[in-house]
Amino acid sequence: MQEKNIEAKTHGRYLVEASTSGAPMLVGFHGYAELADVEFDRLRKIDGADQWTVVAIQALHRFYRGRSRDVVASWMTLQDRDLAIADNISYTGAVIESVAREYATSQTLVLSGFSQGVAMAYRCATHLNHPVDGLIALGGDVPPELDQARLSTIRSVLLGRGIRDEWYTAENLAQDEERLRSAGVNVEAAVFDGGHEWSAEFYRAASGFLRARKTNAQS
C-alpha cells in the first residue's frame, strides 16, 4: 500500500467588523473545538477594540462536538501535520491580505491566539510579507519549528498565562519568553489568577497592549 496526498480546494470562514477606513487590524485565532464566533467575541470585548478592524479566522477542519450537532473546528491533528501547517499559513495569510484590501486598513497589524490558536497565530505572523506589530498569546506555545529569524519579524508579544493553567505551564511561559527575547522580540508577560481562559485581568493587559501598538503607529 502507498499513502499519497493531493492538494484540494476548500473554503474557509472568517468574521469581520470594520472600523473606519485606515484603522489598524486585529486578527484572532480560536482554540481547539471552538469557532471563529467565540474568538470574535473575545476580541470585541477588549477595551479599545472598536477602533480596530477586527477579524476572527476559523480553522478549516470542522467537526461535530461529540454526538451533538454543534459544529466546532480544529487547526490540525498529527496526521499530515506539515501539510496542514502549510495550508493554514496560506489560508490565513490570504484572509489578512483580502481584509486589508477590502477595508483599506492601515499597516498596523496585531494577531491574537488562544490555546491551539496561539501556534497558528505565530505561524501566520512569521510568514506574512511585512512585520507584525504585536501578537497576543494566551495559553499556548511558540511552535518548535520557528527559528530566531522567523520570530524576529514580530515586534512585540504579550504572553498570557493563568496560574492554574495545566496546559500552558510556568515552564512553558519561561521557555517562550527566552526564545522570543533571544530573537529580539519585545516581550510582556501577564500572569493572572485563573486557569486556561481569558480573565478580566488578561483583558486589561490586552487592552493596554493594543493601545500601545496603536500609539506607536501614530507617533
Average pLDDT over residues 30-54: 97
- Residue partners of 82: CB distance under 8 A and separation at least 6: none
Model pLDDT for residues 59-68, shown as the tens digit of each residue? 999 999 988 8
Burial of 17 (0-12, 13-18, 19+ CB in 10 A): middle
Assess whether pLDDT exceeds 90 at residue 216.
no
Do the beta carbons of residue 188 and residue 205 sit within 8 Å?
A: yes
Q: What pTM, to 2 d.p., does this model score?
A: 0.96
Model pLDDT for residues 99-145, shown as the tens digit of each residue? 999 999 999 999 999 999 999 999 999 999 988 999 999 999 999 99
- The CATH class of the 14-218 domain is alpha beta
